[in-house]
Amino acid sequence: MAIIPASVSVPFLGVGVLLALVALTYKQLSGYLKKWVVMKPIPAVSRTYPFIGNALDLKTDAVEFFGQIQGYVEEFRDAPLIKLWLGIVPFVILYHAETVEPIVSNPAHMEKSITYSFLHPWLGTGLLTSTGPKWRQRRKMLTPTFHFTILQDFLEVMNEQAEVLVTKLASQAGRGAFNCFNYVTLCALDIICETAMGRKIHAQSNSESEYVQCVYKMSDIISRRQRAPWFWPDFTYKYFGEGNMHDSTLKLLHSFTYEVIRERAESLKLEDKSKPRKRRAFLDMLLETKDEDGNTMSHQDIQEEVDTFMFRGHDTTAAAMNWALHLLGSHPDVHHKVQRELQEVFGASERMASMEDVKQLKYLECVIKEALRLYPSVPFFARSLREDTKINGFKVPSGTNAVIITYALHRDPRYFPEPEEFRPERFLPENLAGRPPYAYIPFSAGLRNCIGQRFAIMEEKVVLSSILRKFNVKTSQSREELCPTAGLILRPECGIWIQLEKRDKAQTTLLL
């Protein structure tokens, strides 16, 4: 066997590496050019430059970026879709029910967009970010943990934490306008911590919760990176971007959930199995869940799901409840109808909400759904197309990223006349006929719809009903002052400012 001398092997290896780089570059370049030609007929959001695309046009400020996306949609409202390029990566933007449906309903397009890869260091490849066989297996394993009877067990937690929130809000009643956003967010965090991890963290008593601050910080960091393709490579991000800030924030987030999982696993080992368990958390069920082969989930698998539940399970719901409070406070007629329904269900009683009560709050549910129409917690989400697709006559090649703008989709005047108006009656059963199922998708749709949507609606009903049974709400902001900012979650830049007035028995009697 011939032996290559050392003096020859080094340049030989160098040539090999060079050839591999040339081949990779050629493959990337040829793929890029093919997509460019195929997608040329699709309307572009602005002038597109080779290799740079539209990346330099995108606003870096979150509020301005969201306004920019809205502007694109309004400009091209009658177009079936529009395109933009981030570097050499193509995106199509969708905001009509008929163009969204073939994407979210097709199992071939289940994979999340390339931009979701920046969530992997935080959330791993759990239910939100995984794809293929892993996603299918994980979804099958986790679906039973959201069964109705299990959700019923969490009602007590929701009521208890809503009561803490009402007590906190009482200190602000009659004192003028205040920002309620953090109050509601900390309540949602207390609920998800106790239901997901079985641990009370008393976030409402510790308003400077480090975990909350880290969640917001990480969301903003990831969102900024998603909009800047020059920071997509880890090397440039680490040495020229926010890589160090990202890593230090991530360390705090993971250390919190890791410690909780470790403690819970140890306590379960020591638990007396002969005694009935008062209340189970999602974490308990994850620690006991087995796949079809009888294998339990690893601690890393469990951490992926716990981190996902913690993020998606409190931030989205908190935002939705805050937007609903603003809308109720600025529409006295709707506010009055909700309180009349609450009076019919609860009377003068101060008891906590039962599952039967929650079911009866049908108009409040319409309010929640209409608030999610106007201000969906996730204002856009994206999929990677895994096969060539025709969208309304336009050919979109495999490998393109499809961005569904939920915020714009929900404002289609064909299905929501006067779309900027807040009208909960849109969601009464008699008004749903004829509306396409993909015209309203606040919890996504298709196979990858949100597994926790029933949990979210139930929580919102419990918390909002607790607030509205005790207080009258009035907004202190106009629609224009809200300044929605769309990172990973739709939030108002300056919070939600409201005024509260304590209700007395005379007011409740008038509603009868």
Known binding residues for heme: 450
pLDDT of res. 397:
95
Residue 10: pLDDT over 60: no
The answer to whether residue 88 is domain-embedded is yes
Residue found by looking up tokens 């064909």 in the block? 414
Residue 207 lies in a domain: yes
In a domain, 369, yes or no: yes
To the nearest 10°, the Cα dihedral for 195, 197, 200, 201?
-120
- Output the known binding site: 450
Burial class (CB in 10 A: 0-12, 13-18, 19+), 153: middle
3-state secondary structure at position 242? coil
Q: Examine the pLDDT at 507 and tell me if it is beyond 70.
A: no
**Does residue 17 fall inside a structural domain?**
no
Phi and psi angles of residue 255, each rounded to the nearest 5 degrees, phi first:
-65, -35
Q: What does the angle CA 26 – CA 50 – CA 110 come to, to the nearest 5 degrees?
A: 70
Q: What is the pTM of this model?
A: 0.89
Mean predicted lDDT score pLDDT of the chain: 88
Whether 272 has a pLDDT exceeding 90, the answer reads no
Q: Which of 496, 228, 188 is nearest to 371 (CA)?
A: 496
- Please indicate, yes or no, if residue 275 is contained in any of the structural domains: yes
CA distance 327 to 340: 17
Please tell me the distance from the alpha carbon of residue 108 to that of residue 121, in angstroms, as a whole number: 25
Q: Distance between the two ends of the chain, CA-based, in angstroms?
A: 97
CATH number of the domain that residue 398 is part of: 1.10.630.10
Query: What tokens were used for 301?
Result: 């698998």
Closest CA to 278 of 390, 154, 372: 154
pLDDT of amino acid 501: 97
Q: What is the pLDDT of residues 60-84, one digit of tens each?
A: 888 899 999 999 999 999 999 999 9
**Residue 352, exposed/middle/buried by CB under 10 A (0-12, 13-18, 19+)?**
middle
The whole-angstrom separation of Cα 190 and Cα 201 is: 6
Residue 318's Cα: distance from chain center in Å?
Answer: 11
| pLDDT mean over 482-509 | 85
Per the structure, how many domains does the chain have? Answer: 1
Q: Which residues contact 203 (CB under 8 A, 6 or more apart)?
A: 186, 187, 189, 190, 193, 209, 211, 212
In a domain, residue 310? The reply is: yes
Pairing state between β 89-94 and 401-405? parallel
Is 31 contained in some domain?
no
Which string of b and e fits 409-420 if b means at least 16 CB within 10 Å? bbbbeebbeebe
Domain housing 451: 41-66+81-510
182-213 pLDDT per residue, tens: 999 999 999 998 888 888 888 898 767 788 78
392 DSSP 8-state letter: T
Asked if residue 1 has pLDDT above 50, the reply is no
Structure confidence by residue, pLDDT tens digits, 106-142: 988 988 898 899 999 999 988 888 888 888 888 888 8
Q: Residue 295 pLDDT more than 90?
A: no
Exposed/middle/buried for residue 399 (C-beta within 10 Å: 0-12, 13-18, 19+): middle
* Per-residue pLDDT at 292 exceeds 80: no
pLDDT higher than threshold 90 for residue 14: no
Can you give 429-486 as a three-state secondary structure string? Answer: HHHCCCCCHHHCCECECHHHCCCCHHHHHHHHHHHHHHHHHHEEEEECCCHHHCCEEE
Percent of the chain with pLDDT over 70: 91
Q: Where is average pLDDT lowest: 84-88, 336-340, 341-345, 422-426?
A: 84-88
**Three-state secondary structure call for residue 111:** coil
Contact predicate 454/359, CB 8 Å: no
Q: Are 270 and 281 in contact (CB under 8 A)?
A: no
For residue 71, being part of any structural domain is answered with no
